[in-house]
Structure 1
Amino acid sequence: MSYLPVDPARPEPVRVGLIGAGWMGAFHARSLASTIPGAVLAAIADPALEPAVSLAAELGVPQVTADPADLFADPAIDAVVIAGPIRFHAALSAAAARAGKHVFCEKPGATTLEELSEVEAAVAEAGVHWQIGFNRRYAADFLAARRDLAAGAVGTPQLLRSLTRDPGTGSIPHAARVPQWTMFLETLIHDFDALNWMNPGAEPVSVHVLADALVEPDLRDAGFIDTAVATIRYSNGAMAVAEASFSALYGYDVRGETFGSRGMVQAGRPTETAARTYGPEGLSARTPRLNIELFADAYRDELADFAAHAAARRDGAPAPDHGVPLTPGLADARRALAMARACIESVQTGLPASVAGSVVSGAGEAHDGAAAVAR
């Protein structure tokens, strides 16, 4: 018997600590433990210890803690993935950065722009990589459309559209417990980033929103929103529409479109599986009902990209080159959050609202090299 030699130059995997063992955190954990090249899941932190211990046992993760600070203090941890409740995102990101950890944070990066400014300052001072979970960029059809845009397929963008319709049954379980502005901070924020990404070089200037509780009208007076349409004006003159519903009976429906002076690119469609059923009522196909089913590959690819960036920072190597701007950083998080906050203002006033301020320079990846910020 003779073993093959191991290449001594092979880089060490990025050792990742996960914060949050809930629905999304558990999916990220399973990806990090089995399918993300160049990464290893080294620890899990969650104040609710029982699910964290169970997940760690399932995946063979050696370290579990109730306190994320234990991950920040561990010199063996290179990076953290933050998948806890959004009200903790900013504080956890800033603390991780100050501890010298690279950060992948689920959206949104913060609940207010002031909170995000604190993250930006911590990241800039520490010089770590910070990435936000705008997974739609990594979906094959959206990335293909973005590459076509970069090649000039549509000319000058004029009209854009992005939509998210979550699967539903005609009612929304536990709707009364859904935080009031979830529609903008956690759902449409994906569409805002997609529109910004599909309109390279432009900045969002203003928004105007129509929103209502059409699925759960009894909660309208309590401020619940389950249906919304936002119109957006950009600094290059382009106009965009973002729409969302929490209850599409036919399953997930996520789409994007950019129309311009030379043509149009589209991504997404009401998604169906490859299996078909032929019966007395005709042809039918099953549609995804889980986000981790619809975007499974995109979720894994964004973590692989994060691990590659973290390894490059750690090892002093060049950052990954995707051919087009891909990796969403703090500048992208700020744009999308500013749009979400403007949408909230528009709902409260019934009037158009300006999208706040400029993007902090040097925070996160560049936005297609653009410096045009709406004044």
Structure 2
Amino acid sequence: MEMTVGIIGAGRIGKIHVENLRKLRNVKVKSVSDVQVSHLQEWAKETGIDHLTTDYRELLADPSISVIFICSPTNTHADLIREAAEAGKHIFCEKPVSFTVEETEAALAAVKRAGVKLQVGFNRRFDANFQKVRELVSEGKVGTPNILRITSRDPEPPNAAYIRTSGGLFMDMTIHDFDMARYIMGSEVVEVHAHGAVLVDPAIGEAGDIDTAIVSLKFANGALGVIENSRRAAYGYDQRLEIFGDKGAAQAENVRANTVKLATEDYVTTEKPLYFFLERYTQAYVEEVIQFIKAIENDEPVSCSGFDGLQAERIAKAARTSLETGVPVKLTHEAVKRSEIV
């Protein structure tokens, strides 16, 4: 049976999801809501979308729509999750769920009351390289994990206007790495110590944020982690990680346009990393949508839950507190257990 989807937010990421959903034979994207739709008419016609509206409530009121994708700005996510859940819709929501743990917990409570599914858009979990590392860790190939190192650097910084509404580096950018740390390690973060600086663009500092960070993590299983971020890498989108254990190590390297290496008596060269996330994670965006639709069809748990989103936000909040206070911040297991019943 065909599954009918509504999309709230038709910016860059919303359009990506529309294109990927169109590849699935049992899915129909019927309606798209955005604050402005006049510029979307031709795109809607080309993609087979029947209905454009500036009022997202029309999508929630449509009984033929069973799934809602929330691709609007972060400050709208929590309310939209609650309203979509109350309307009985399954929900895919881009990260983060909200800017505060309290709002996220309230949204997750609404999802639980309604008995619908919610998947959070941490697309990096669906990258084949990172999935393979997770598999190797789970199979014990590296032994007992000791150290996790994640490198995440953007090719160029966003503008200051974006920074002011982004929630800050930790909530906007590093939150992907916080989720990846939990995903790869298979253990909760119990302590966070963050250091940050403005080394890329003074305008980012003037907007109240940082553009460079190193975050140290301690995990419940005793392992340690390090995340390093920069808003600018001159050579492209730098996305790597390594997990080191008592039996060995597993690494995921950057993805390049090709694997050719040229070696001469003067130099050895390879292609630079792919330039941005749309290139680097093209297939991951497809796979996360496939897995979400399968979870609905088969009534199975989603691959990245609201709880996963909440835990990444907890870590991001702790990192910000650590940056401001200069001391490590602990995350308690009691808080984790409470959130599991939300």
Aligned-pair CA distance for 1:277: 9.8
> Where do residues 182-193 of structure 1 align in structure 2 (5 Å cutoff)?
182-193=168-179
Counterpart of 2:340? 361
* Counterpart selection for 2:239 from 250, 254, 258: 254
> Aligned partners of 2:208 and 2:233: how far apart in 1?
21
Counterpart of 1:5? none
Counterpart of 1:242? 227
Residues 80, 103 of structure 1: 8 Å contact kept = yes
Instruction: Please tell me whether residue 307 in structure 1 is matched to residue 293 in structure 2.
Output: yes
TM-score by length of 2: 0.91
Whichever residue aligns with residue 55 of structure 2, its letter is: D
> Where do residues 53-92 of structure 1 align in structure 2 (5 Å cutoff)?
53-92=41-80
Counterpart of 1:99? 87
Aligned-pair CA distance for 1:289: 2.0
Instruction: Please tell me whether residue 291 in structure 1 is matched to residue 314 in structure 2.
Output: no
Q: Secondary structure at the match of 1:214?
A: coil
Whichever residue aligns with residue 236 of structure 2, its letter is: G
Aligned-pair CA distance for 1:81: 0.8
> Where do residues 1-375 of structure 1 align in structure 2 (5 Å cutoff)?
12-33=1-22, 35-168=23-156, 172=157, 174-179=159-164, 181-200=167-186, 202-217=187-202, 219-267=204-252, 269-274=253-258, 283=269, 285=271, 287-313=273-299, 319=300, 327-355=303-331, 357-359=335-337, 360-361=339-340
Aligned-pair CA distance for 1:218: 5.3
> Aligned partners of 2:223 and 2:39: how far apart in 1?
46
Aligned-pair CA distance for 1:58: 2.4
Whichever residue aligns with residue 331 of structure 2, its letter is: V
Q: Secondary structure at the match of 1:72?
A: helix
Q: Secondary structure at the match of 2:340?
A: coil
TM-score by length of 1: 0.84
Cα distance change, pair 81–285 in 1 and its aligned pair in 2 (3 A): same
Cα distance change, pair 251–62 in 1 and its aligned pair in 2 (3 A): same
Residues 237, 273 of structure 2: 8 Å contact kept = yes
> Aligned partners of 2:158 and 2:35: how far apart in 1?
25
Question: What do you get for the CA RMSD once the two structures are aligned?
Answer: 2.2
> Aligned partners of 1:160 and 1:27: how far apart in 2?
31
Moved more, 346-355 or 64-73: 346-355
Cα distance change, pair 62–233 in 1 and its aligned pair in 2 (3 A): same
> Aligned partners of 1:215 and 1:257: how far apart in 2?
25
Q: Secondary structure at the match of 1:36?
A: coil
Aligned-pair CA distance for 1:224: 2.5
Residues 37, 304 of structure 1: 8 Å contact kept = no
Cα distance change, pair 257–38 in 1 and its aligned pair in 2 (3 A): farther
| Structure 1 stretches lacking a partner, 5+ long | 1-11, 314-318, 321-325, 364-375
> Aligned partners of 2:51 and 2:212: how far apart in 1?
42
Spell out, residue by residue over 1:91-123, the C-alpha distance to the aligned partner (whole angstroms, 9 max, x if none).
111111111100111110111110011111111
Residues 181, 344 of structure 1: 8 Å contact kept = no
Spell out, residue by residue over 1:13-59, the C-alpha distance to the aligned partner (whole angstroms, 9 max, x if none).
221111111111111111112x2353221110111223443431221
Q: Secondary structure at the match of 2:229?
A: strand
Whichever residue aligns with residue 148 of structure 2, its letter is: L
Q: Secondary structure at the match of 1:21?
A: coil
Q: Secondary structure at the match of 1:155?
A: coil
More helix by share: 2
Spell out, residue by residue over 1:47-95, the C-alpha distance to the aligned partner (whole angstroms, 9 max, x if none).
1223443431221100111111111111100101111111111111111
> Aligned partners of 1:178 and 1:188: how far apart in 2?
14
> Aligned partners of 1:30 and 1:108: how far apart in 2?
22
Cα distance change, pair 229–60 in 1 and its aligned pair in 2 (3 A): same
Residues 107, 133 of structure 1: 8 Å contact kept = yes
Whichever residue aligns with residue 304 of structure 2, its letter is: P
Q: Secondary structure at the match of 1:211?
A: strand
Cα distance change, pair 93–276 in 1 and its aligned pair in 2 (3 A): same
> Aligned partners of 1:156 and 1:281: how far apart in 2?
38
> Aligned partners of 2:150 and 2:25: how far apart in 1?
31
> Aligned partners of 1:217 and 1:302: how far apart in 2?
36
Residues 46, 52 of structure 1: 8 Å contact kept = no
